[in-house]
Amino acid sequence: METYDALLASISPVSGPTRTILDPATGAAVGEAPVHTLGYLEEVVAAAQAAQPAWAALGHEARSAALLKAADAVERSAEELARLLSREQGKPLNGPNARFEVGACVAWLRATATLALEPETIVDDGATYAELHYKPIGVVGAIGPWNWPMMIAIWQLAPALRMGNAVVVKPSGNTPLSVLALVKVLNEELPEGILAAVSCGREVGSRLTEHPAIGKIMFTGSTAAGRAIIKSSADTVKRLTLELGGNDAGIVLPDADPKAIAEDLFWGAFLNTGQTCAALKRLYVHEDIYDAVCTELTAVAAAMPMGNGLDENNVLGPLQNKQQYDVVANLVDAARRSGARILLGGNPDTDQPGYFYPTTLVADIDNDNPLVAEEQFGPALPIIRYSSVDDAIAKANALEVGLGASVWSSDLPAARAVAARIEAGTVWINKHGAVDPRIPFGGAKQSGYGLEFGVEGLKALGVPQVING
Distance CA 54, CA 62 (A): 11
Distance CA 182, CA 188 (A): 10
DSSP assignment of 144-189 equals --SSSHHHHHHHHHHHHHHTT-EEEEE--TTSHHHHHHHHHHHTTS
Distance CA 240, CA 461 (A): 10
Distance CA 230, CA 209 (A): 9
E strand or H helix that includes residue 17: none
User: Do 301 and 295 contact (CB within 8 A), yes or no?
Assistant: no
Active site residues: 243, 277
User: Do 312 and 414 contact (CB within 8 A), yes or no?
Assistant: no
Strands 166-170 and 404-408: unpaired
Q: Which residues of 159-197 are buried (b: 16+ CB within 10 A; e: fewer)?
A: bbbbbbbbbbbbbbbbbbbbbbbbbbbbbebbbebbbbb
Distance CA 24, CA 353 (A): 9
Which residues, in sequence order, are bridge partners of residue 140?
167, 216
Give CA angle at 217 (52, 243), nearest 5°.
Answer: 135
The amino acid sitting at 149 is: P
Which residues, in sequence order, are bridge partners of residue 216?
140, 239
Strands 216-220 and 139-143: parallel
Helix (H/G/I), strand (E/B), else coil: 215 = coil
Distance CA 102, CA 329 (A): 30
Total count of residues recorded for the chain:
469
Give the list of residues 6+ apart from residue 138 with CB closer than 8 angstroms, or none: 49, 52, 165, 166, 213, 215
Residue 230's CB is within 10 A of a number of other CB atoms, namely: 16
The amino acid sitting at 422 is: I
E strand or H helix that includes residue 138: none
Distance CA 302, CA 310 (A): 21
